[in-house]
Chain A
Amino acid sequence: MSQKIDLDQRRFRQIIRGKIKQNLRKYISHGEMIARKGQKTVAIPLPQVNIPHFRHGGKQQGGVGQGDGEEGDAIGQGEAQPGAGEAGDRPGEHMVEVDVTLDELAEILGEELQLPRIEPKGAERIIAHKDRYTGIRSTGPESLKHFRRTYKQALKRQISTGTYDPNNPIIVPIRDDKRYRSWKTEPLPQSNAVIIYMMDVSGSMGDEQKEIVRIESFWLDTWLRSQYEGIESRYIIHDAMAKEVDRDTFFSTRESGGTMISSAFKLCAKLIEDEYPPEEWNIYPFHFSDGDNWSVDDTVTCVELLRNRILPAVNLFCYGQVESPYGSGQFIKDLQEHFGEEQKVVTSEIKGKEAIMDSIRDFLGKGK
């Protein structure tokens, strides 16, 4: 049912997407992409466009509340300002947050970014088979007897031959009536995936850059998890050397050193070769860096590694370059130069938190 409000809503969405009314862009507040992750829920703020007005500034505000508590008791955290009883013709809040489960979140993400469903790899190459007892045949071992079907068959026979007496409904199956369960062999498409996160933790990656990586990888993780039954993630950090770590370390490391991206690629290739045969696994390496590789030689090595060992094995290789005041941002250009035509390589520049969404769309918009 189309409603009058659809036009207005569509217009609003377009503004949010930044498609129109560029001047309003700065009033769009998305807030923190991830607020909490309690149990299986996450709070995300809904986008809003706030038209400017003459109004009181937040600094000196406070408010009145009701309830128990002593002076000095905390009633709320941080900068989020609790509403002070909005007056108006409709209930309004400055930032509306909504709790969603991760599944719903992935769905929303898919919708918002219009991500196509990922096709499980190897649909043609069936390796696993599963037997399921859904069939019927007329011969078989007694242990597989199908009771109901047998009796149904007997009943049919009796009715058709006229020996069925409704007043005395005794059914006696004969040998021909007997039915047995049988199995069907079903192909089980393998849809396993592994994500390999690689992050540059050299001195040039600061807290803000890592924060961006954290947020982006959260979203990627959520989305891919919703597309695949079982998903594994591996984490590699590198500066001049690479090593595999667990998730927490991945996000909290504070290394500093030079940057040799090839070390990470080498480790990644090795990981794939050792543990994740591409026939069975859908592999998604993501690499985040500020683009400042040590030397041109190293970059050449990277390109070779990618071309020869990594790309043939993976669904998609994604490189996200975050902006950093120290990095030169050269690597992305090199990748684009060598792999510009290659479908499997996607690069994206992530200028800041606002660009994360666009970056995810770049990465996953192709549905591989």
Chain B
Amino acid sequence: MQQDIEGHAKDYGLDFFPIIYEVLDYKTMHEVAAYGGFPTRYPHWRFGMDYEQLSKGYEFGMQKIYEMVINTNPSYAYLLEGNSLVDQKTVMAHVCGHVDFFKHNYFFSKTNRKMIDGMANHASLVRRHMSRQGQSPVEDFIDVCLSLENLIDPMSPFIAREAKPVEASDKDETTEIPRLRAKQYMDKYINPPEFIEAQRKKQEEEDEKKRTRFPAQPQRDILKFLIDHAPLERWKRDCLEIIRREAYYFAPQAMTKIMNEGWATYWHSKIMTEKAASAAEIIDYADACAGILATSPGRMNPYKLGVELYRHVEQRWNKGQFGREWDQCDEMSAKRDWDRRLGLGRDKVFEVRKLYNDVTFIDEFFTLEFCLEQKFYTFGFNERSGNWEIMSREFAKVKEQMLRSLTNRGQPFIYVEDGNFENRGELLLRHSHEGVDLDMGEARDTLQNLYRVWTRPVSLLTKVDSKGKILRFDDDGFSDRSATIE
């Protein structure tokens, strides 16, 4: 059966790593799912928590995991024992889509395909530290690291390494001190010694600032900054590195959720309806699909959004509904009937799956027509009525809201601004405020966790209710004051 489905998939042009399937009973399935798809992870209660929630959800008939597949080569996929044959076929087709995506999408290109070993290594390293330091200290420190796990720069694997900053020039080197133009005999009056002295001092100060600016540029990869510069014991540094590495491994999945699920859904749908499902199975298949693709009012379903957008793109490129002429066409009726019969759809979606991530995907292909067709709206909380309500169907607003929630995987932009704040070895972070405040309660606690790592006071520059503020955590605890921020 696996070969059949994979055969079909390859016929359509999908290209994927070899897939190894395992059939699991539901308990093991939940265990694996709690571990993120890997057979083993470092010991930590968070996996216990996920396991419990998945199990309870299943036991009470709330949800059912159909499939699990991980980004490795060879790729491992898990099927739930007891699912019907139709379901398993669907799952396999879906998995083919996922693995093809993992293999080809640009944002996965730098991930470690041997992560199974990676995870196992992390686990044994943590266990080793636990046996030396005790379970609680290590676990507590991992809690602290987990609190900071979103402070990475997902784009950094793709940026060429910056050239090393130029070393500070020697102090002895005389720098040219700006003088006012003057004829030599007038020099003494126009450029009196005091003036020269003042200028020289100013120059020195500026040089000093430039030399000691640390980091040279604001850095988004805060975890790396901490690993490199925080005074950490060896085992603590190991833990932080593990958390960082795993965060980077999973980051592309967070960045491409819609595209990935949409792609897999698109293909399982095609393969099942066109090739693999027999007449008897097709109803069961449709029923199961309906569940996965259902939309509920307060939520965006990535499967549905993804697959519809791919189909929309395919249709457009088949009909030639793109390009300058299309963009400039104003007539709705002309647009509706536009059909150049180019048949470029299939190729286009393959290209899309390769080059885009969720943000660019939505940005480029979420058009007015699509928005209307799919009946999208924005919703918000109405203080007066105490309800969540539909706010607008305006295309611009919908798109903006969607992009906003997807940008940076919905996380705020935080940078290391100064590693030697107030010249006292303190850490200053800056929140690049894009219109949404931080959650204050959690920010305080996260700041405390940062303090635990940095061991000297840490501050965060942000905006609260449109007013600049610096939040600070030091030996005396938490405090804040106003500040200016652009």
B31 CB within 8 Å of chain A: yes
Are A62 and B378 in contact, with the CB atoms below 8 A?
A: yes
Candidates B44, B302, B392, B439; contact of A56 at CB < 8 Å:
B439
List which A50-102 residues lie within 8 A (CB) of chain B: 51-78, 81-85, 87-91, 96, 98-100
A15 CB within 8 Å of chain B: yes
A9 CB within 8 Å of chain B: yes
Are A5 and B297 in contact, with the CB atoms below 8 A?
A: no
Are A8 and B297 in contact, with the CB atoms below 8 A?
A: no
Q: Classify chain A: how many residues form its interface, as a range.
A: 35 or more
CA distance A61 to B404 in the complex (A): 10
1/0 per residue, CB under 8 A from B, across A326-338: the answer is: 0000000000000
List which A82-127 residues lie within 8 A (CB) of chain B: 82-85, 87-91, 96, 98-100
A19 CB within 8 Å of chain B: no
B255 CB within 8 Å of chain A: yes
Candidates B52, B255, B389, B398; contact of A9 at CB < 8 Å:
B52
B390 CB within 8 Å of chain A: yes
1/0 per residue, CB under 8 A from B, across A1-32: the answer is: 10111011111110100001100100000000
Are A66 and B51 in contact, with the CB atoms below 8 A?
A: no
- Which of the listed residues A4, A56, A74, A91 has the most CB atoms from chain B within 10 Å of its own CB? A56
Q: A9-B52, A54-B150, A73-B390 are in contact. Are A65 and B300 (CB under 8 A)?
A: yes
Q: Which residues of A contact B37 (CB under 8 A)?
A: 89
B236 CB within 8 Å of chain A: no
Q: A24-B143, A88-B257, A89-B253 are in contact. Are A77 and B387 (CB under 8 A)?
A: yes
CA distance A84 to B390 in the complex (A): 14
B406 CB within 8 Å of chain A: yes
Cβ of A7 to closest chain B Cβ, rounded Å: 6
- Which of the listed residues A5, A10, A13, A67 has the most CB atoms from chain B within 10 Å of its own CB? A5
Cβ of A214 to closest chain B Cβ, rounded Å: 22
CA distance A116 to B49 in the complex (A): 26
Q: Which residues of B contact A73 (CB under 8 A)?
A: 389-390
Candidates A66, A74, A99; contact of B388 at CB < 8 Å:
A74
User: How many residues does chain B have at the interface if contact means C-beta atoms less than 8 Å apart?
Assistant: 94
Are B431 and A54 in contact, with the CB atoms below 8 A?
A: yes
Secondary structure of the A contact surface, majority rule: loop
Are A5 and B253 in contact, with the CB atoms below 8 A?
A: no
Are A82 and B388 in contact, with the CB atoms below 8 A?
A: yes
Q: A58-B439, A71-B390 are in contact. Are A51 and B146 (CB under 8 A)?
A: yes
- Which of the listed residues B149, B300, B301 has the most CB atoms from chain A within 10 Å of its own CB? B300
CA distance A20 to B62 in the complex (A): 30
CA distance A77 to B406 in the complex (A): 24
Candidates A3, A49, A60, A77; contact of B31 at CB < 8 Å:
A3
List which B398-448 residues lie within 8 A (CB) of chain A: 398, 401-402, 405-406, 409-412, 414, 431, 435-446
Are A46 and B52 in contact, with the CB atoms below 8 A?
A: yes
Q: Which residues of A contact B393 (CB under 8 A)?
A: 71
List which A322-353 residues lie within 8 A (CB) of chain B: none
A301 CB within 8 Å of chain B: no
Q: Which residues of A contact B358 (CB under 8 A)?
A: 87
Cβ of A107 to closest chain B Cβ, rounded Å: 12
Chain A residue at smallest Cβ distance from B443: A54
B298 CB within 8 Å of chain A: yes
A48 CB within 8 Å of chain B: yes
Chain B residue at smallest Cβ distance from A59: B437
Are A13 and B300 in contact, with the CB atoms below 8 A?
A: no
B98 CB within 8 Å of chain A: no
B74 CB within 8 Å of chain A: no
Cβ of B190 to closest chain A Cβ, rounded Å: 54
B50 CB within 8 Å of chain A: yes
- Which of the listed residues B34, B45, B254, B440 has the most CB atoms from chain A within 10 Å of its own CB? B45
Are A76 and B48 in contact, with the CB atoms below 8 A?
A: no
Are B443 and A87 in contact, with the CB atoms below 8 A?
A: no
Q: A12-B49, A88-B257 are in contact. Are A62 and B380 (CB under 8 A)?
A: yes
Are A52 and B449 in contact, with the CB atoms below 8 A?
A: yes
B106 CB within 8 Å of chain A: no
Q: Which residues of B contact A53 (CB under 8 A)?
A: 147-150, 411, 442, 446
Chain A residue at smallest Cβ distance from B439: A57
Candidates A46, A69, A87; contact of B406 at CB < 8 Å:
A87
CA distance A87 to B53 in the complex (A): 18
Q: Which residues of B contact A91 (CB under 8 A)?
A: 63
B350 CB within 8 Å of chain A: no
List which B17-71 residues lie within 8 A (CB) of chain A: 27-28, 30-31, 33-37, 40, 43-53, 56-57, 60, 62-63
Cβ of A106 to closest chain B Cβ, rounded Å: 15
Are A99 and B405 in contact, with the CB atoms below 8 A?
A: no
CA distance A352 to B51 in the complex (A): 29
Are A66 and B34 in contact, with the CB atoms below 8 A?
A: no
CA distance A155 to B293 in the complex (A): 65
Stretch from B85-93, B226-234, B315-323, B369-377 forming part of the interface with A: B369-377
Q: Which residues of A contact B449 (CB under 8 A)?
A: 52
Are A5 and B31 in contact, with the CB atoms below 8 A?
A: yes
CA distance A214 to B36 in the complex (A): 40
Q: Which residues of B contact A49 (CB under 8 A)?
A: 45-46, 49
Chain B residue at smallest Cβ distance from A58: B439
Cβ of A41 to closest chain B Cβ, rounded Å: 10
CA distance A244 to B298 in the complex (A): 45
Cβ of A147 to closest chain B Cβ, rounded Å: 45
Q: Could you jot down 9 A-B contacts, CB within 8 Å?
A: A8-B48, A12-B46, A48-B49, A52-B442, A57-B437, A63-B298, A75-B387, A89-B254, A91-B63
- B residues lining the A interface (CB < 8 Å): 27-28, 30-31, 33-37, 40, 43-53, 56-57, 60, 62-63, 136, 139-140, 143, 146-151, 250, 253-255, 257-258, 295-302, 304-305, 358, 374-381, 385-393, 398, 401-402, 405-406, 409-412, 414, 431, 435-446, 449
> Which 7 pairs from chain A and chain B are nearest by CB?
A82-B298, A12-B48, A62-B380, A8-B48, A9-B48, A52-B445, A85-B300
